[in-house]
């Protein structure tokens, strides 16, 4: 059964993620890695999100794009991707 997740991408990645829908339709049994791969394929002009982006699911920090806890997705989950910012 397909599932829908909400996607929140923080400001620094707006340009790369321009046109990416706020919700992703995914297949049953999809994992965070699958969702990240689907997202990578939808980024503008072959852009990539930095490996250092923080990844969170349902308000829980999983790690970075480069290294994170494996998780299965459920319908209605919110996947949050925050590019590190250091502006002072």
Partner 1 sequence: MLTDDELQRYSRQIGPGVLSRQGQERLRESSVLVTRAGGMGGPAALALTTAGVGRIVLAHGGRMITPDLNRQILGSEATVGEFRAPHFADYLRSMNRYVEVEPLDHEPDDDEALEIAARVDAVLSCPPTFDERLRLSRAAVDTSTPLIDAAQWGMMGTLIVVDPSRTACLRCVYPQEPPFEELFPVVGAISAAIGSLAALEAIKILSGCGEPIFGKMLMYDGFRGRASQIDLRRDPQCPVCGDAR
Contact footprint for partner 1 (CB under 8 A): 8, 10-12, 14, 50-52, 54, 56, 59-64, 66-67, 69, 80, 82-88
Closest contact distance (angstroms) between CB of 87 and partner 1 is 4
**CA R_g for the chain:** 12
From the number of C-beta atoms within 10 Å of its C-beta (0-12, 13-18, 19+), residue 60 rates as exposed
**5 vs 80, beta carbon nearer partner 1:** 80
Closest contact distance (angstroms) between CB of 49 and partner 1 is 12
């Amino acid at each position: 059964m397909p599932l829908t997740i909400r996607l929140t991408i923080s400001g620094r990645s707006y340009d790369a993620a321009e046109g990416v829908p706020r919700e992703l339709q995914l297949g049953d049994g999809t994992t965070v890695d699958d969702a990240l791969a689907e997202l990578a394929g939808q980024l503008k002009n072959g852009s990539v999100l930095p490996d250092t982006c923080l990844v969170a699911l349902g308000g829980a920090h999983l790690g970075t794009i480069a290294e994170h806890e494996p998780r299965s997705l459920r319908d209605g989950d919110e996947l949050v991707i925050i590019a590190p910012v250091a502006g002072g």
